Amino acid sequence: MTDRVETAKWDRLWLNTGIATMRPGPVPYGAIHDGAIAAKDGLIAWIGPRAELPGAPETLARETTDLGGAWMTPGLIDAHTHLAFAGDRSTEFEQRLNGVSYEEIARAGGGILSTVNATRAIPEEELTDLVMARLKRLFAEGVTTVEIKSGYGLTLEAERKQLRAARKAANTLPVRIRTTFLGAHALPPEFTGRQAAYIEHVASDMLPALAAEGLVDAVDGFCEGIAFTPEEIRRVFTATQTLGLSVKLHADQLSNLGGAALAASFNALSADHLEWTDEAGVIAMAQAGTVAMLLPAAFYFLRETRLPPIDLLRRHGVAMALASDANPGTAPTLSPLTILNMACVLFRLTPEEALAGFTREAAKALGLGDEIGTLEVGKQADLAIWNIAHPGELAYWIGGTPACLRVFHGGEKQEEDSGTDR
């Protein structure tokens, strides 16, 4: 037995599982029925039908698990979140239900700025704890990679605190993280009436400093009537380019300012929201290879009525990713499964498109398409195992159900206290 353990070619082998590989092609979900998958050194070393395994399973890996027919998918990738915030905005939710609009609340100094005040006030350790708790909730629904944005600090110190809290929380948990600097999210009160000066501060002080500290994987902005103009975003993106970092953009969420085309002109990883994007914007994205990041929770929570141009995105071959947009103002959710359902019901994605959006296309939106997002040899062994009879079930139930049985990150099981082992 010991000999066999030492000479086994793989670290782990999972058997008796339906595998939604999410590889593109004619087979729905890239599915392998009665499959097997092996990991070595954190990477997928073998995948295919169990019948084609190159030997008796017990001889092949140090540890073999029979999954009893459960389904496996790539670990989910939440590629647009604002998890590093303090406080909540349930009072404003009530205001909105009493007839005040999101924009009116924002213009009256509430909205994003109320979260800025709460986030500035909290020590880094407490913010880290909040991020950790939220990450564990995402794990419970199969997530293995998360992007976290700043944007609720709006000073160098407070933005740094957010990015550090995000990194620290993720580095102590079994999750892959990307951090995004979102200094151009809202105008901080200290700069009232001096919007151009704030943008200059973001572009020439905050961004270079945070990038030099290694805290920035990408740079985002909010291009909107209640936030920043295309010219102001262009200033931030130009500074980003000189640092060799990628950009992404909150674009065309509440109005069409040409945000999608602006993002594409900087070869953005993704343009996000897109409810008001027109065909010219879609074409620009297609040409640049910019991913469309669809965020149905914000659409739902703001009771928007104008759908993103899904058919145009399909027709022009733009990859459609999905994410939670988890934030206290417009998407108070930590449930990827609810997002899958919303994407199908509200945006009319197919369940397969929705799952691809939270795996394969989300990986592209983070520039990680070669490493994660599909199950194939050489990619990271980031796996979620589900108590379902068909992958379409993931988008069918309205959140929370079905149970995610187990999650593996780089071939290693997430900790017992991650909430996934139920």
Positions touching ligand DI6 (CB under 6 A) are: 111-112, 115, 185, 222, 250, 253, 298, 325, 327-330
Nearer to Fe ion, 240 or 327 (CB): 327
Shortest distance, position 248 Cβ to ligand DI6, whole Å: 11
| Partner whose binding site includes residue 222, from ligand DI6, Fe ion, none (CB under 5 to 8 Å by kind) | ligand DI6
| Partner whose binding site includes residue 35, from ligand DI6, Fe ion, none (CB under 5 to 8 Å by kind) | none
Nearer to ligand DI6, 178 or 248 (CB): 248
DSSP designation for 206: I
| Partner whose binding site includes residue 161, from ligand DI6, Fe ion, none (CB under 5 to 8 Å by kind) | none
Residue 257's CB is within 10 A of a number of other CB atoms, namely: 20
- CA 237/CA 249 separation, integer angstroms: 10
User: How distant, in Å, are the alpha carbons of 76, 113, 327, 360, 362 from that of 150?
Assistant: 21, 13, 11, 24, 19
Select from 238, 246, 80 the least CA-distant residue to 149: 80
| Partner whose binding site includes residue 292, from Fe ion, ligand DI6, none (CB under 5 to 8 Å by kind) | none
Tokens of 407: 């999650």
| Partner whose binding site includes residue 150, from ligand DI6, Fe ion, none (CB under 5 to 8 Å by kind) | none
The letter for the amino acid at 90 is S
Nearer to Fe ion, 50 or 96 (CB): 96
Residue 168 φ then ψ, to 5°: -65, -45
| Partner whose binding site includes residue 45, from ligand DI6, Fe ion, none (CB under 5 to 8 Å by kind) | none
Q: Which residue is nearest to Fe ion (CB)?
A: 325
Shortest distance, position 204 Cβ to ligand DI6, whole Å: 22
Shortest distance, position 331 Cβ to Fe ion, whole Å: 7
| Partner whose binding site includes residue 23, from ligand DI6, Fe ion, none (CB under 5 to 8 Å by kind) | none
List b or e across 80-115, with b for residues whose CB sees 16 or more CB atoms inside 10 angstroms.
Answer: bbbbbbbbebeebeebbeeeeebeebbeeebbbbbb
Shortest distance, position 272 Cβ to ligand DI6, whole Å: 8
304 part of the interface to Fe ion, by CB under 5 A = no
Per CB under 5 A, the segment of 123-131, 173-181, 318-326, 381-389 that binds Fe ion is 318-326
Shortest distance, position 171 Cβ to ligand DI6, whole Å: 25
- CA 325/CA 343 separation, integer angstroms: 13
325 part of the interface to Fe ion, by CB under 5 A = yes
The letter for the amino acid at 35 is G
Shortest distance, position 295 Cβ to Fe ion, whole Å: 7
Could you tell me which residues come within 8 angstroms of residue 142 by beta carbon, excluding any fewer than 6 positions away? 73, 75, 76, 336, 337, 384, 386, 404, 407, 420
Nearer to ligand DI6, 103 or 124 (CB): 103
- CA 207/CA 162 separation, integer angstroms: 14
Shortest distance, position 326 Cβ to Fe ion, whole Å: 9
Is the Cβ–Cβ distance between 63 and 39 less than 8 Å?
A: no
Nearer to Fe ion, 11 or 232 (CB): 232
Q: Which residue is nearest to ligand DI6 (CB)?
A: 329
Nearer to ligand DI6, 168 or 250 (CB): 250
Helix (H/G/I), strand (E/B), else coil: 378: coil
List beta partners, residue 366.
Answer: none
Residues contributing to the site for Fe ion (CB under 5 A): 325
